[in-house]
Every structure is written in structure tokens, then in C-alpha cells.
Amino acid sequence: MFRNYVRLGAAAMLLAVALGAFGAHGLKDKIDASMLSAYETGVQYHIAHALGLILIGLLADKLGESKWISRAGAFIVAGIVLFSGSLYIMAVTGIGKLGIITPFGGVAFLIGWACLAAVAGKRG
């Protein structure tokens, strides 16, 4: 399991860097400042949580497999897709109503980190 989360985190990080570069260079003059800011927020959270997936993978290796670690990873992935993904799509398309999806991604992030805290509490 741990290698899967490290791989997934590395792939998510690669995608975050590529999307960040696209936003900085490809979108700068094509979308308004508020949409560019939303896009950049998506990239920031994407990067932070891609690193979180790598951390989850390393902890899975150290602590062993558990349902809490697996849940943590799944919710972090869902958070990246829902939170960052909705911001990316909203910024590129200009459809502001897509912002209604973003908080669900934020909740997924919170649940993911709570699951990780739960496994850490059980091992300590």
C-alpha cells in the first residue's frame, strides 16, 4: 500500500507543477485576476496535499497497513479532485457556479487529515 500512495503523491505533484506552470504562463493574460487567483489557490492546495499523499505512503510503510491510513489517502485524493479540480475548471471556463463543489473537497481534506490523526493516535 505505501508504494501506491508514494507513487500517487508523486504523480499528483507532477500534475500540480505542470498545472501551476500552465496557469502562470498560459492563463496569465487570458483570464481575469480573480479567476487566476482561484486557479492559484487550487495549485497551492494540490501541491500541499500531493506531499500529504507521499507522507501517508511513508507512514503506511513505517506503521503498517491500516484502514485509517487507507481512508486518509482516499479522502486526500478526493479532496484534490474536488477542491483543486473544481477551481481549475471554474477558472478556465469562467463558470462561477462550479465553486459550489470546492467546499466538498475541503471537507474531504479535513476528513483525510482526521483519519491520519486517528492512526497516529492509535500507534502512539
Query: Domain range for residue 74?
Result: 2-123
Q: What is the pLDDT of residues 14-39, one digit of tens each?
A: 999 999 999 999 998 899 999 999 99
Residue 64 φ/ψ region, left for φ over 0, alpha for ψ in the -120 to 50 degree band, beta for the rest:
left
Q: What is the pLDDT of residues 30-63, one digit of tens each?
A: 999 999 999 999 999 999 999 999 999 998 888 8
The domain spanning residue 26 has which CATH number?
Answer: 1.20.120
Question: How many structural domains are present in the chain?
Answer: 1
94: its cell numbers: 469562467
Question: Is this prediction's pTM over 0.75?
Answer: yes
